[in-house]
Amino acid sequence: MTSSPNLKEKFVLVVEDNVLNFVLISRILGSLGIRCEWKTSGYQVLEAANTFPNIDLILMDIRLPYEDGFTALEKIRGSAIHKNVMVVAVTAEASPEQLARARQAGFNGFIGKPIEPDRFTRQITRLLNGEEVWELN
């Protein structure tokens, strides 16, 4: 693993419809000095991304209201500004089949829920270092 990035300069967009999961994720990110913004559905992702042009990472649940994470990812990849942003699926649907589907769809990683804080801290650091993370749990 390469040296740790300056996490205090990083910005993460979290797309999560469960408030308890978002609180946990935001607290972990905050403990690392990472700024984050929260959206609750897939259809809000591109609009939010355009509001924050310097996004370092998007953590996206797969099961979201209105538009799922796969549909939202297609929109992100179709955006001139954000097509190369690292997007990671964070989901309770953690199975080998879902991981393979996420990889085929163009996600840059997969993190299964439930989130374990110490492990998640390491996963986020790796992701912000440019590494892909593909872990069921």
Give 64-123 pLDDT, tens digit per residue.
Answer: 888 899 999 999 999 888 899 999 999 998 999 999 999 999 999 999 999 999 999 999
Residue 4: what pLDDT? 55
Residue 137: what pLDDT? 79
CATH architecture of 7-135: 3-Layer(aba) Sandwich (3.40)
Residue 5: what pLDDT? 55
- pLDDT class of 8 with cuts at 50, 70, 90: confident
Cα dihedral sign, 24-115-107-34: positive
